[in-house]
Amino acid sequence: MTGHEWWRGAVVYQIYPRSFADSNGDGIGDLAGITAHLDHVASLGVDCVWLSPFFTSPMKDFGYDVSDYRDVDPVFGTLADFDALIARAHALGLRVIIDQVYSHSSDRHAWFVESRASRDNPKADWYVWADPKADGSPPNNWQSVFGGPAWQWDGRRGQYYLHNFLAEQPDLNFHNPEVIEAALDTARFWLDRGVDGFRLDAINFAAHDAALRDNPPAPDTGGKRTRSSDFQLPTYTRNQPDLPEFFERLRGVLDGYGERFTVAEVVGRSPEKEMHEYTAPGRLSSAYGFNFLYADRLTPALVRDAMAKWPEAEGGWPSWAFENHDAPRAVSRWMAAEHRTAFARVKMLLLLCLRGNPFLYQGEELGLTQVEIGFEDLQDPEAIATWPLTLGRDGARTPMPWVAEAPNAGFSTGKPWLPLGADHPAMAVDRQQGDAESMLNLTRRLIALRKARPELVTGPLVVTRADDAVLVFERGGLRCAFNLGAEPVAWDGDGEILVAVNGAGLDMLPGYSGIVVGA
């Protein structure tokens, strides 16, 4: 990949540390386990690894509640383990990006402990504090993403503090210059240890309306609303106008370390305006699209419309994922059981043909399905609170299967923190390794094709057909065609077949098939 930034079009592999590989038998994945299995990641041909949080944390939200931004939680290892991981990844030609959680910290972070102690201590204004209304109720109507008011009463200060997520995740005050400096210093700490960039978690929550104005009600679109936050528009709790200035300052820090990659998680119903704004020149590299992660169907129209929001002429560079640690596995979300094997193959081809950065979630290369987790085994606080209305996140966070016949499929010698899927040992890495037609080896071939054809990395994307089942688009001189339905459909292919999945040909696309044709 030459002639452009290393990250533009790079394939990124997400690792959820708790569930990737356990090196010490405590049932929880760790950094040493990741390092021991980086050869597998490198063998896929991906360019970069994204590590979900491994920082010191009480684990109320499994690492997204950070109590020390500059250390490793003992359950995952030590800073020395992290340094060894970086060294091994770089030796294998893999870049590494890590999460940065600037929106909020844990309530056990030393900053918050000091902030809540009084109204006049040095960190009193590092978090978002507000007086109650005259009747003692919260300052305004803002609602938490996890349900209920976004304000928590604190008797020590006689004030409420803001938490857009759990009450144990107080929001940092990005109107305070000292907080900005602390965030930038944290970035420098990890850049000095060799990371190649950051994923910025829930970054559009990182600032709030200083006037604390009420959010307006959201129109009722007829969909299911399981959270109180679904009933209002986040006008004053997300996407505030001072955020781009922070991105420019962060970019200034990053540029001092050479070419680094930043991808923003921008949460919202229609966040494209902010995504483009945040990735304007001099700001962030890319934004992580949610178009597919919570869709109940993968359709040609969905793909067409998502691509149309990132026209080449307007600049900006998107990142796409079909699966991650927060969304149910796509093969289970989109497909009945009898078609999942075929669908996993065609969706992988589609993801790797899109313009932007494809993000693969651990186990996606194996075709892993969503696991049904019984209430007694749930760990996800959101799933517990909304049981049984939502699938929750645990079913996509189950352990990675490495060795089919080993205890716990080779993930751990101890009891895993979440149960393995009953069908997952049969999909284990060792089972698929020697099968030339396995999902694992198909993924390797498709990534190799993408890297061999610059058109698939940085070329334009023009949709030429998007009907009920068939999607056809051009990437430079290549034509990519997909049948996302069950019935065979004719199409007018012509040229050299570079890859065909599930029997696709130049004149016919069987159900759940795809093909890439060169001139």
Q: Where in the chain is the domain with CATH 3.20.20.80?
A: 12-103+177-220+243-450
Q: What CA–CA distance (Å, rounded) separates 439 from 26?
A: 30
Instruction: Please report the pLDDT score of residue 386 as a whole number.
Output: 77
Q: How does 333-350 read in b/e, with b if 16+ C-beta sit within 10 Å?
A: bbbeeeebbbbbbbbbbb
- Provide φ and ψ at 38, rounded to 5°: -65, -25
Residue 446, H or E segment: helix 439-452
Q: Which fold has domain 460-518?
A: Immunoglobulin-like (2.60.40)
Q: In 312-420, which ranges are continuous DSSP H helix?
A: 330-334, 340-353, 381-386
DSSP state of 413: S
The CA-atom distances, in angstroms, between 475 and each of 58, 232, 319, 460, 481 are 46, 40, 17, 5, 11
Query: Which residue is catalytic, options 61, 65, 171, 265?
Result: 265
Q: Where in the chain is the domain with CATH 2.60.40.1180?
A: 460-518
Any bridge partners for residue 72, and if so which? 55
- The residue to which tokens 């016949």 are assigned: 405
Q: By the 8 A CB rule, do 291 and 302 touch?
A: yes
Amino acid at 474: E
What is the full DSSP assignment across 114-133?
Answer: HHTT-SSSTTTTSB-EEPPP
Q: What CA–CA distance (Å, rounded) separates 504 from 508?
A: 6
Region for residue 113 given its phi and psi (left: phi exceeds 0; alpha: psi -120 to 50; beta: otherwise): alpha
Count how many residues are written for the chain. Answer: 519
Which residues touch 256 (CB under 8 Å, ≥6 apart)?
none
Query: Which residue is catalytic, options 201, 272, 277, 394?
Result: 201
The number of C-alpha atoms within 13 Å of 365 and in the hemisphere containing its C-beta is 34
The 10s digit of each residue's pLDDT in 148-187 is 999 999 999 999 999 999 999 999 999 999 999 999 999 9
Report the sign of the C-alpha dihedral through residues 456, 457, 458, 461, in that order. positive
Instruction: Please report the pLDDT score of residue 1 as a whole number.
Output: 42
Strands 68-72 and 55-56: antiparallel
Residue 40, H or E segment: helix 38-44
Strands 95-100 and 48-51: parallel
Q: By the 8 A CB rule, do 164 and 215 touch?
A: no
Q: Is 265 a catalytic residue?
A: yes
Spell out the CATH class of 12-103+177-220+243-450: alpha beta
Amino acid at 160: Y
Q: What CA–CA distance (Å, rounded) separates 182 from 114?
A: 15
Residue 518, H or E segment: strand 513-518
Rg (CA), the chain: 23
Q: What CA–CA distance (Å, rounded) separates 205 from 162?
A: 11
Q: Is 201 a catalytic residue?
A: yes
pLDDT per residue of the chain (519 residues) written in tens, 0 to 9: 457 899 999 999 999 999 999 999 999 999 999 999 999 999 999 999 999 999 999 999 999 999 999 999 999 999 999 999 999 999 999 999 999 999 999 999 999 999 999 999 999 999 999 999 999 999 999 999 988 999 999 999 999 999 999 999 999 999 999 999 999 999 999 999 999 999 999 999 999 999 999 999 999 988 888 889 999 999 999 999 999 999 999 999 999 999 999 999 998 878 899 999 999 999 999 999 899 998 999 999 999 999 999 998 788 899 999 999 999 999 999 999 999 999 999 999 999 999 999 999 999 999 999 999 988 998 888 788 778 776 679 999 999 999 999 999 999 999 999 999 999 999 999 999 999 999 999 999 999 999 999 999 999 999 999 999 999 999 999 999 999 999 999 999 999 999 999 999 999 999 999 999 997
